[in-house]
């Protein structure tokens, strides 16, 4: 009697996830000690992800399915052409869940991988909140960048050329980056920060805050993170700590900008993205929105949305999503705008 094995590609994402977890467990010799300060959970793609964030789905500039979700501009023509490889196709637009970000005050705390606390034997700065007076606080956080193309490893759409391929994978840890904890060293990566360390530049971010809270942020104000503060410097120091949700959201946005500056991630929005991803060293923040996964999966809609454009005030959606001890580590799912020429190769 012969038996039929499952297709290998259907189990590839599961094998990759198991291998990643085993490698992390092998390093987690200090997990028992650090576990009291490291908290997290594995994402359940069915119950923890707000799937309406994928919408609107567009063909050309026409919305096919929106679920009342806002959108940025799309190529006007429904027909597109790419030369390498040659193909004629349909111009499709959607928001693809492709990245995940941990934000934590405990070094090597892998929030999105179930709260595993690694102990690689390195001495790195710990996160902290510092109060200067009754009204002024600053803070410091570490962050981790994951490739997490959910639609690909769930195999929701087989052989769809517009999806990023791959499985859940840890890409970047700020604990091993000397620039992340040092404002002076960070200037190597973003020397233009000195141009925006003045009152008029900071005041302009108020307009970005209003725009992001009403819809999407203002792309030309690229130094602003809307209501969260400034994208500069691109490190873990939050000069104005209003709350843990606000600060962790700012860190997630800064890390996205940092990954663009280091050419570690690309974008795929607009007419330029129809034939593939392209580098954008100055991040266009209108290409992204995020959703909290931990400590509270943000699947309940506020004002019709459970994903937030970069820079939107956390007052609208952040209440009750942080608390002492077990609610001080965060994980966010990142959705990236994708325009793609879907056609036969």
- E strands within 74-141? 79-83, 86-104, 109-110, 116-117, 128-131, 137-140
Asked if the model's pLDDT at residue 125 lies above 90, the reply is no
Cα distances from 11 to residues 18, 88, 232, 342, in angstroms, run 11, 32, 41, 26
Residue by residue, DSSP assigns 224-269 as B-GGG-B--SSSSEESS---HHHHHHHHHHHHHHHHHHTTSS-BB-
Residue by residue, DSSP assigns 300-332 as S-BTTBSSEETT--TTTT-TTS-BTTTBS-EEE
Cα distances from 44 to residues 114, 143, 156, in angstroms, run 11, 21, 15
Rounded distance between C-alpha atoms, residue 171 and residue 315, angstroms? 31
- pLDDT tens for 206-244 read 999 999 999 999 999 999 999 999 999 999 999 999 999
Asked if the model's pLDDT at residue 35 lies above 60, the reply is no
Q: Give the least confident one: 120-129, 251-260, 294-303.
A: 120-129
Asked if the model's pLDDT at residue 28 lies above 60, the reply is no
Cα distances from 244 to residues 19, 104, 208, 279, in angstroms, run 32, 10, 21, 31
What strand order describes the sheet that includes 237-238?
128-131, 137-140, 237-238
Is the separation of the CB atoms in 233 and 190 below 8 Å?
Answer: yes
Residues 6+ apart with CB under 8 A from 72: 216, 269, 286, 287, 337
pLDDT at 215 (0 to 100): 95
User: Tokens for 108?
Assistant: 């090597």
Most confident of 18-27, 30-39, 117-126, 268-277: 268-277
* DSSP label at residue 334: E
When pLDDT is cut at 50, 70 and 90, the band that residue 26 belongs to is very low
Q: What is the chain's mean pLDDT, rounded? A: 88
Asked if the model's pLDDT at residue 21 lies above 70, the reply is no
Q: Report domain extents, the chain.
A: 9-343
Is the separation of the CB atoms in 67 and 303 below 8 Å?
Answer: no
pTM summary value: 0.88
* DSSP label at residue 114: T
First to last CA, the chain: 40
Rounded distance between C-alpha atoms, residue 206 and residue 91, angstroms? 35
When pLDDT is cut at 50, 70 and 90, the band that residue 8 belongs to is very low
């Amino acid at each position: 009697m012969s038996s039929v094995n499952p297709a290998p590609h259907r189990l590839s994402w599961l094998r990759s996830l198991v291998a990643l977890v085993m490698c992390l467990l092998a390093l987690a010799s200090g997990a028992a000690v650090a576990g009291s300060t490291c908290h997290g959970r594995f994402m359940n793609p069915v119950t923890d992800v707000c799937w309406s964030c994928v919408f609107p789905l567009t063909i050309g500039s026409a919305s096919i399915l929106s679920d009342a979700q806002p959108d940025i501009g799309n190529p006007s023509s429904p027909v597109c052409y790419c030369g390498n490889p040659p193909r004629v196709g349909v111009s499709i637009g959607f928001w693809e869940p492709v990245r995940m970000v941990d934000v934590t005050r405990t070094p090597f705390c892998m929030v999105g991988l179930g709260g595993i606390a690694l102990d690689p034997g390195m001495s790195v700065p710990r996160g902290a909140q510092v109060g200067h007076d009754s009204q002024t606080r600053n803070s410091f956080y570490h962050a981790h960048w994951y490739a997490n193309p959910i639609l690909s490893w769930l195999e929701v759409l087989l052989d769809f050329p517009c999806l990023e391929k791959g499985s859940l994978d840890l890409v970047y840890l700020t604990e091993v980056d000397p620039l992340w904890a040092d404002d002076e060293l960070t200037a190597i990566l973003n020397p233009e920060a000195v141009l925006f360390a003045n009152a008029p530049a900071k005041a302009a971010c108020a307009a970005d805050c209003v725009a992001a809270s009403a819809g999407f942020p203002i792309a030309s104000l690229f130094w602003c993170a809307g209501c969260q503060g400034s994208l500069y410097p691109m490190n873990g120091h939050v000069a104005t700590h209003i709350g843990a949700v606000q600060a962790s959201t700012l860190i997630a946005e800064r890390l996205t900008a940092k990954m663009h500056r280091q050419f570690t991630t690309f974008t795929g929005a607009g007419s330029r993205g129809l034939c593939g991803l392209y580098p954008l060293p100055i991040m266009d923040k209108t290409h992204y929105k995020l959703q909290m996964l931990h400590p509270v999966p943000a699947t309940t809609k506020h004002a019709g949305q459970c994903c937030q454009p970069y820079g939107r005030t956390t007052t609208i959606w952040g209440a009750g999503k942080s608390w002492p001890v077990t609610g001080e580590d965060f994980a966010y799912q990142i959705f990236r705008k994708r325009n793609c020429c879907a056609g036969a190769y």
